[in-house]
A and B are shown apart, each in its own frame.
Chain A
Amino acid sequence: MSTKLPLSGIRVANFGWGWLGPVAGQTLSRLGAEVYKIESYVRVDINRTIPPFATGHEKDVNCSIQNHAAWSGNGSVTINLKKPEGQQLARELAGQCDLVLENFGPGVMNKLNLDYEQLKAINPNCLLISAPAAGLIGALKNIRTYGMSLSSITGLDSITGYKGGPPIPMENAYADPLGGIICAFAAVLALNYHKRNGGGQHIDLSQQEGVMQLMGPSFMDYEFNGRIAEPRSNLHPQDAAAPHGVFPCTGDDRWISIAVANDKEWAGLVSAMESPAWAVDGKFSSMDGRLENIDELHKNLSAWTGSKNDYALTELLQKAGVAAAPVLNIADLLSDPHYKARETFVEVEHPLGFKETVYGNYVKTHHADSPLATGPVMGQDNESVFKGLMKMPESQYEQLVADKVIF
């Protein structure tokens, strides 16, 4: 059986920036592709400046350990795209790649002379994936968002919050890593297209449309019944389970999630609670009754969980056939036995002489493991790409470095 990764031999020029673009490149790299992020000291990518930095490397753009997990797997070449010679160089590099990724606003690639027509003139098989916030066409095409607020134009923020209250923001950009994965999905889809049809394609991927898939069930309720979904705490999105929520446990900010989808699971929960009077009350015996009285149900359940340890209670409830799990915080991610067993987070040795923790192979495959990398150092692949892949003579390379074209 082969141990080859599915995208080995595929080369990617990644003009993506921020969080989304590099995650797209990382995803393809973990599938075996050779990925080069194109960036420059002329305007350092904002995510390289996010603290904390590796100890002793404060404000070093190669040492934002906060960001490295999200970027690892991307190579890096530095090209100054403000100069025509830089644009020429980038076109030539893109011409030697199977896939080109970018997540600028519409029109930026044109200004850089890196638009699809120019790329296709060099490589007729160019597969360009453009992933702006709301796509390349349409009334909102020029909208400016951060990943954190992108979800607000999909409807996702409007259904997040406590029941009866205002929308509460997810305090980081869920839409960014998810969008990066969707961008990688678009890229492998394009490869499948190419395999069947040959030739190039320019894919207009709207981040908004990708993330809005999560609104499918809410859309159907609007379509069928004109109902507009609102924040609903942790209740089941279609009211198909009760109890369904997060309940307090002992300790500072400790919680357990519990979801009961049928009467058999409810019986398990009741027996785990040792059948308190309130729980054997007739009004909670059917799903309809539990849904109808869910506030009271959750209040009673909270009173019971409140004196228990989250992990111990999870064990008890799992034994009773109830879907329960501890609610983890950041520290728990590194100590939880499940993530440890799956090597979700791993320590790697950075070439600049420090150790950093990144996420490992969060997707496991039977036949081949993906390579793990550190966050890329700016320009780490300049020599191999320009002198090796592009066969640039040493003298020309030195000149372009001196002219700050390779920069």
Chain B
Amino acid sequence: MAIAALKGVRVVELGEGVSAAFCSKMFGDYGAEIIKVEKPAVGDITRHWGPFPEDKPHPEKSGTFFTLNTNKQSVTLNLESAEGRELFISLIKTADVLIENNTPKQMKEWGLNYEALEKHAPNLIMISITPYGQTGPYANWKAYDLNAFHMTGAGSRYCGRQGEAPLEHGTHSADYYGAYVAATWGLASVFAQDEVGGEHIDVSCAESVAATFVGGQNIGGYAQDGVFGSRTGIGMPLAAPATILPCKDGHVWMLALETAQWRGLVNAMGNPEWAQLEMFDDMFTRAQNSDLIYTMMNEWTMAHTKQEIMDMCQDNNCPSTAVYNIQDAAEHQHMKDRNYVVELEHPLIGRVRDIGAPVRIPDCPGGPTTAAPLLGQDNDAVFLQRLSLSETEYQNLLSAGVI
């Protein structure tokens, strides 16, 4: 077995919620050592979010916390106290990377902003992931994932029905997106750290999505022509079929754009008479008649399951897919073939499955190997050994509520 891709990289995470935790998980999955710094007694907010086994709230059993914090150690520090902040700086002096998602104002108040930390640790790579970034008029706005997502134009442009509220996916979509961006920039800086030295990486979740997703295919045209589109609730209004339709046991993403794909779909549907019209060979003409086409297709989809439809379409070179729910996706034979889902042992939950690593390197695959930590479970090891506090100092800090 080869050496893990990030073996020896020492990361401190000072995060609440999804973005910083997912970013440092992307380091921890590949062999970096992650020390997560949490508030004493309370811990990361996601410890209180659930889902919990049998829906019984318990701060050590939150599923959201679990999946975001595998392969990590946990220490507790009260940063409202001067001693807590001093200890944090001592910890940073032993680290290569800091991943955090506090407001710039908060980090400055704590004296833990980049300019301050750089003096103690000139080679530190600090990764800040916030809704709006470190600069600009909204940098210190109070914001959560939902606010960031809807600042990108993604909901207004692309998701929801006309006249109704724009939508986000039912997950922390902007936070995850920003975290992936931050992990990519962070790993590049880690790769070059010996040569290039320290860095402060400023990622705004809103800006990442606004630029690369929404801006990627809208901004050039809008800047030149001054016209822009907005959501329809359909899918792709200018071409058809390109929409989600109901079927016998759920929904299917019906997509056939090129003529060959359309012919494949017609074949999969058993060559019904209505679909034989030559004018329907053109995706734009089909879109102009989408009411008719979707009604006729719907008769067919309702007679079959999502998997049957996907199989029949794919066999006919039509790229339609089943709309898998989480069970369909996670339990699919494909995921078993790829060993995507992993099983871990947690001291209070027991054996529990989790989603595996998003990228696997053949010689050292990576992925979650240890369950999410109990709150403060690594205090002894980190404060007594790594930071060499004396037993007396340590006990005093514990009883003072600093640790």
Task: Give Cα distance in the complex from A363 to B185, angstroms.
Answer: 8
B254 closest partner in A (C-beta): A149
Say yes or no for B19: interface residue by CB 8 A criterion: no
Given contacts A182-B180, A210-B359, contact A253 B156 (CB under 8 A): yes
Q: Which residues of A contact B214 (CB under 8 A)?
A: 330, 333
Taking a contact as CB atoms closer than 8 A, the residue among A168, A339, A363 that contacts B167 in the complex is: A168
B337 closest partner in A (C-beta): A138
**A18 CB to nearest chain B CB (Å):** 11
Task: Give Cα distance in the complex from A357 to B207, angstroms.
Answer: 16
Q: Which residues of B contact A54 (CB under 8 A)?
A: 224
Say yes or no for A122: interface residue by CB 8 A criterion: no
A70 closest partner in B (C-beta): B216
Taking a contact as CB atoms closer than 8 A, the residue among B49, B154, B216 that contacts A69 in the complex is: B216
B184 touches A27 (CB 8 A): yes
Say yes or no for B71: interface residue by CB 8 A criterion: no
Query: Using an 8 Å CB-CB cutoff, how does the interface string of B309-352 with A read, 1 for contact, 0 for none?
Result: 00000100111111111111110111101101000000000001
Say yes or no for B197: interface residue by CB 8 A criterion: yes
Contact size range, A: 35 or more
B5 touches A329 (CB 8 A): no
B338 touches A209 (CB 8 A): yes
**B61 CB to nearest chain A CB (Å):** 8
A69 touches B215 (CB 8 A): yes
Chain A 261-298 residues near chain B, CB threshold 8 A = 261, 265
Given contact pairs A214-B176, A345-B211, enumerate 4 new A-B contacts (beta carbons under 8 Å): A185-B358, A204-B360, A330-B157, A365-B202
B53 touches A224 (CB 8 A): yes
Query: Using an 8 Å CB-CB cutoff, how does the interface string of B217-228 with A read, 1 for contact, 0 for none?
Result: 111111111001
B137 touches A189 (CB 8 A): no
A-B contacts, 21 of them at CB < 8 A, read A31-B188, A69-B217, A149-B255, A160-B168, A169-B253, A170-B158, A171-B157, A171-B159, A203-B360, A212-B355, A221-B51, A225-B53, A230-B325, A234-B168, A324-B147, A329-B157, A329-B230, A333-B215, A337-B136, A341-B136, A365-B201
Chain A 1-21 residues near chain B, CB threshold 8 A = 1-2, 4-7, 19
Chain B 218-243 residues near chain A, CB threshold 8 A = 218-225, 228-236, 242-243
Task: Give Cα distance in the complex from A344 to B222, angstroms.
Answer: 15
**A233 CB to nearest chain B CB (Å):** 7
Say yes or no for B267: interface residue by CB 8 A criterion: no
B52 touches A224 (CB 8 A): yes
B26 touches A246 (CB 8 A): no
Given contacts A143-B321, A222-B327, A344-B207, contact A148 B255 (CB under 8 A): yes
Query: Using an 8 Å CB-CB cutoff, how does the interface string of A199-232 with B read, 1 for contact, 0 for none?
Result: 0011111101110111111111111110111111
Q: Which residues of B contact A239 (CB under 8 A)?
A: 50
Q: Which residues of A contact B191 (CB under 8 A)?
A: 6-7, 188, 191-192, 195
> Interface residues of A: mostly helix, strand, loop or mixed?
mixed
B128 closest partner in A (C-beta): A364
Q: Which residues of A contact B197 (CB under 8 A)?
A: 1-2, 367
**A366 CB to nearest chain B CB (Å):** 4
B200 touches A365 (CB 8 A): yes
Segment at the A interface, from B138-146, B283-291, B390-398: B138-146
Task: Give Cα distance in the complex from A336 to B244, angstroms.
Answer: 33
Task: Give Cα distance in the complex from A204 to B225, angstroms.
Answer: 41
**B278 CB to nearest chain A CB (Å):** 24
A-B interface pairs (CB < 8 A), number: 522
Given contacts A168-B159, A338-B138, A344-B210, contact A329 B171 (CB under 8 A): no
Segment at the B interface, from A60-68, A75-83, A376-384, A386-394: A60-68
Task: Give Cα distance in the complex from A278 to B360, angstroms.
Answer: 53
Say yes or no for A40: interface residue by CB 8 A criterion: no
Task: Give Cα distance in the complex from A50 to B224, angstroms.
Answer: 15
Say yes or no for B161: interface residue by CB 8 A criterion: yes
Segment at the A interface, from B62-70, B90-98, B380-388: B62-70
A330 touches B146 (CB 8 A): no
Task: Give Cα distance in the complex from A341 to B38, angstroms.
Answer: 33
Q: Which residues of B contact A160 (CB under 8 A)?
A: 159, 167-170
Task: Give Cα distance in the complex from A249 to B358, angstroms.
Answer: 40
Say yes or no for B378: interface residue by CB 8 A criterion: no
Taking a contact as CB atoms closer than 8 A, the residue among A167, A229, A330, A362 that contacts B229 in the complex is: A330
Taking a contact as CB atoms closer than 8 A, the residue among A162, A223, A246, A324 that contacts B353 in the complex is: A223
Task: Give Cα distance in the complex from A144 to B268, angstroms.
Answer: 15
B334 touches A224 (CB 8 A): no
Task: Give Cα distance in the complex from A162 to B257, angstroms.
Answer: 27
A201 touches B244 (CB 8 A): no
Given contacts A148-B236, A330-B157, contact A217 B63 (CB under 8 A): yes
A2 closest partner in B (C-beta): B196
**A263 CB to nearest chain B CB (Å):** 14
Chain B 227-285 residues near chain A, CB threshold 8 A = 228-236, 242-244, 246, 250-251, 253, 255, 257
Say yes or no for B114: interface residue by CB 8 A criterion: yes
Q: Which residues of A contact B181 (CB under 8 A)?
A: 181, 362-363
B226 closest partner in A (C-beta): A331
**B149 CB to nearest chain A CB (Å):** 8
Task: Give Cα distance in the complex from A69 to B48, angstroms.
Answer: 40
Given contacts A162-B164, A357-B224, contact A143 B314 (CB under 8 A): yes
**B186 CB to nearest chain A CB (Å):** 9
Say yes or no for B109: interface residue by CB 8 A criterion: no
Q: Which residues of A contact B163 (CB under 8 A)?
A: 253
Taking a contact as CB atoms closer than 8 A, the residue among B154, B183, B333 that contacts A139 in the complex is: B333
Taking a contact as CB atoms closer than 8 A, the residue among A67, A144, A224, A231 that contacts B220 in the complex is: A67
B63 touches A220 (CB 8 A): yes
Q: Which residues of B contact A225 (CB under 8 A)?
A: 51, 53-55
Taking a contact as CB atoms closer than 8 A, the residue among B67, B190, B217 that contacts A220 in the complex is: B67
Q: Which residues of A contact B222 (CB under 8 A)?
A: 330-331, 333-334, 357
A215 touches B171 (CB 8 A): yes
